[in-house]
Structures are given as C-alpha cells and as structure tokens.
Chain A
C-alpha cells in the first residue's frame, strides 16, 4: 500500500516536496536502514555509516566528470559500481577491526571510522577538491535532479524497496538467522560452532553495502560531495533518524527520515520567534527535543509507538499477535537492556 502510494506520489505532491522531502527521506532512510540492520539483527549500534557512505560518494565523484577531485571521466554507472564496491570492502575491513568489540567500545570504534574518514577527505584535497567536488555527473537516466526530480525520486524509491526486501530476505537465510543468534548470545553461538567475529565483520560489510547505496544517492541528489556533508553532525543525524523511527524496526528508518526531512524543511516556517532562544533557525533544537521525547516515551521510536498501540488493540480484541522475530516494542523499552547495547 505504502509503496503504491509512494509510486503515485509525483502526481500528488509538487516538485519541491518530491525533491526536498520525499527523495531526501528515501536516501536518508537507506542510510538509517544500514544502521538499523546492524542494530536490530546484529546487536551492533554503529556510528560509522556516515564515513562509509562518504567513501562511496567520494569514490564515485572522483571517477566521473566533475569540478574538483580527480575528474577521471568514467561512465557514471561504472563509477557507481566502483563506489559501492570500495565502500563495501572498506566496511568489511572496518568490521574486521570492530568485530571483537561490544557495547561502548564498538560504538567508539565506529565513531572513530567516521571521524577518520571526515578528516581524511577534509585534508586530502586531491581527492575532495577545495571545499568539495561539485557538478558531479550522475547517470544519464537520472539527468539533472534540480530540473527534473522525478527520475531520482523513482531511483531512490526502487533502491529503498530493494534494500527493505533484501534485508527482510537476508534475515531468514542461514547468514541472517545466525547473525540474530549472535545478537542474542555470541558465546552460545561460538559454542554451537559459529565463527562469531567473521560473521560480525561480514554483517558490517552488508551494512556498508547498504550505506554505500545511500552515499551514491546523496551525490546524485546534490550533484556534489564535500567533507562538510559527512561531518560529526551528519553522523549524529543518521543515528537520530534511526532512533526517531525505531532503532530496532527496519521500517523506522524511512519513517524517521521522513519526519527528519519534514522538520528540516518546515521548522523554519512553523517556528515562532520566542526571545533569543527559539526561532526559525533552531532546527537542531527542535529535532533534539523530539529525539528526547521519543527516547523517553518509546525507545522503540515512532514505529514502536504504533506497534504498542496496535498490540494493545489486538490484546483487547483478538488476543496476541504473531511475532516478527524482532524485539517487541515493549521489550525494547529499556534500550540499554537490549543485547545490542551490551
């Protein structure tokens, strides 16, 4: 239903909403989905997704015709494939480093990945241009998203559907089930015969693959990539999107991204001026307050709230619902108690 609605969205919404809200929500949702995949199925909360999608974006931008960077003139599709491949390999490498760590140590290692990538591109100007790489050539089928946002919107929609379906499928494969077992009890899985570190490293690679798709779409979306777009603030934004939507709900990635994009665009119009401390420029304050309210009210995010309401309705009516295999909304009430946080 939702996919059909989104497929028909261009006939309902104007091109500003299509580009600034929906397309942005779709690619940000993919970035958040890479984080939610790792947290909900693998028990790994990563702050490295921004660094990884930056590697994909910069690789692609350097390989095609662009202003700044290497400007190698590759075919945009080949550059896209190369960007995804490099970022995925980078992700596996980072995963190999981080896979033996848990909890706060894992979080700090992945944060370090994003920070290292940021400083690398900020300082190595032969790969990032002066202030970024601009006028990046997207594939011909995408065209110029500023003039016609429709092709990019559909590309982001198709990518989102494929990522969602792909993650759902992967979760039921031997790899995905074993990953969920590792999330619940790594030592038990080791005793059952699984190579826990290798499994976690490869899962991080899968997360990197998903994040790299977001990185490519972000470059197509803005036709540029700069160190300013992959800084610590963006790292935090991806985490905020995932938490607002629901850190343990895959759907939450796109729900959180839609809320984030909407507030990002409209808070300037809605926000009244109240002295010096509230005004149209206080987007970060607004999103921060929403983040706090959601964390306090429902650590399962907006999707968690929806599922709690739905579960209560079912209990009152027809009895318990079948489990999705992911932690139930009420069971993630204490995020720190979830294996992902241990």
Chain B
C-alpha cells in the first residue's frame, strides 16, 4: 500500500498508510479498536477502493480491482465476525473456498475429476483444521470455536499466495487459541500471512514483523521483540494517552 487513505463521509478511517509485505512474510497488524486495521484489510482485499493512494498485489496495481479478481489472483481472507455459508455443510463451505480460486464456477454438471480434486482438497483442509469428523454438519450447527476454525480453513483451502486473518482468535478459549497458533505456525512457509489480532501472545508468536496502528495511521513497526519492549505499544493497549 502506498500512502493509502480512506474516508467515509467526514470520517477519515485510514490516512497515509504505507505498508510493504514481502512474499512469505508473517506480518501482524496491531492496534486498539478503531485504529483502522480492518479498513486496511478491506482496502487490500478490495471490499472498497481507497480514496487516496494505491494498492499493489503480487506486483500489480489493483487499486480499483474488485475483490473477486484479487481472490482469483491468490488472496484469501477471513472476517472479524465469522462470515460462513450457514445453510451449507462444512465440506461444502470448504468446497466453495477451493472452487472460488479455480475455473468452473458456472459448471452445471459434476465433472468427476474436478469434483474429486476439489473434494479431496476440502477434506484435507478439514483434517488440517480438526473438523474432519464434522464434514457433513451444517455450519449453523457448529460451535463458535469450530466456526472460527472453519473461517481459517476456508482461507487456507485454496492454497493462497496471501492469507489475511482478521482476529482469528476472537472468542476462543485458551485451549483453542493454542491450537490456532499451532495451526498458523504450521502453514506453508511460502504463503504470505497478514494477521490482525488483539491477543498479543498469538500475534507475536506467529509474526516475524509487526505494524502498529493508531487513529488510522501506522505509528510503529518492528520485530515482535521490539514491539514487546515498546512503551508506546504498552500505553496504547493499557489505555494511556498516546503522544507522538
């Protein structure tokens, strides 16, 4: 992202954000509520275009490209609150996540080879996220923790080049957070990961580099160790007044 800004009427959600994430990097974006983290995610994934600046994805300018084309190019994401296909089974959710990145969305027939490939990939992902025994269950019948696991599974099912997770640990129990962290650490090292997370333990264990945001701006960048020892970060998270 180069000097990206986004306004919603009179509200400036993001201002002058420059962010460069290298292939294979694990990046965490931290910041208190309202810092503009999710807006940055939406700008990268193409939910809406920026009002200033440019966005590049895999070396190409995608500033005004719709979300679906960015997804087809290899970007996948999760949402802050689970956005799953509630009327479909776990397997069908993963099936659509795999299909989304491929050709054949409009096929009105079931081609055995394509079906086998997609189903195998969907079941493999279910195995990896610990939902192999819930394949036929309707998503609306899953627990909150299982739905969060499935969100991450849907993001990784298509083997994306860039995966963006928006607060994947929100609402999870300590045990589930531990499991999620292991799951993220086990991801393909070639895959780029951008993570928004309020749980510092999860974020700083997974990330190699951290971007700190506040009031729609990037206020600090550094390694997890540097961020841990940064007084400003402590102040922001403990509610102390931030002074630039």
Contact = CB atoms under 8 A, between A and B. Distances in A.
Interface of A is mostly: helix
Interface string B100-127: 1100111111100010000000000000
Interface residues of A, number: 33
Instruction: Return the 9 tightest CB-CB contacts between A and B, nearest first.
Output: A192-B100, A193-B100, A193-B71, A184-B85, A174-B107, A188-B83, A193-B72, A181-B85, A175-B108
A193 B75 CA distance: 9
B95 interface: yes
Interface residues of B, number: 39
B67 interface: yes
B84 A185 contact: yes
Given A181-B85, A183-B87, A188-B84, 19 more contacts: A173-B107, A174-B104, A177-B92, A178-B96, A180-B87, A181-B92, A185-B83, A185-B85, A187-B83, A188-B79, A189-B96, A190-B71, A191-B68, A192-B76, A192-B101, A193-B69, A198-B106, A322-B136, A323-B138
B107 A175 contact: yes
Nearest to B115: A174
Contacts of A191: 45, 47, 67-68, 71, 77
A184 B107 CA distance: 20
Contacts of B95: 177
Given A183-B87, A184-B88, A327-B87, A174 B72 contact: no
Contacts of A199: 105-106
B71 A195 contact: no
Interface string A311-342: 00000000000110111000100000001000
A188 B108 contact: no
Given A173-B109, A174-B106, A175-B105, A325 B88 contact: yes
A172 B88 contact: no
A45 B57 CA distance: 38
B21 interface: no
A327 B86 CA distance: 10
A181 B72 contact: no
Contact of A173 (B47, B66, B71, B110): B110
Contacts, number: 104
Contacts of A183: 87
Contact of A177 (B79, B83, B96, B101): B96
B43 interface: no
Interface in A158-205: 170, 172-178, 180-181, 183-185, 187-196, 198-199, 202
Nearest to A195: B68
Given A173-B107, A322-B136, A193 B68 contact: yes
A173 B109 CA distance: 5
Contact of A194 (B47, B68, B84): B68
30 contacts: A172-B110, A174-B110, A175-B105, A177-B95, A177-B99, A178-B106, A180-B85, A180-B92, A183-B87, A184-B88, A185-B83, A188-B79, A188-B83, A190-B68, A191-B68, A192-B76, A192-B96, A192-B100, A192-B154, A193-B71, A193-B105, A193-B158, A194-B96, A194-B100, A196-B68, A199-B106, A323-B89, A323-B138, A325-B88, A325-B92
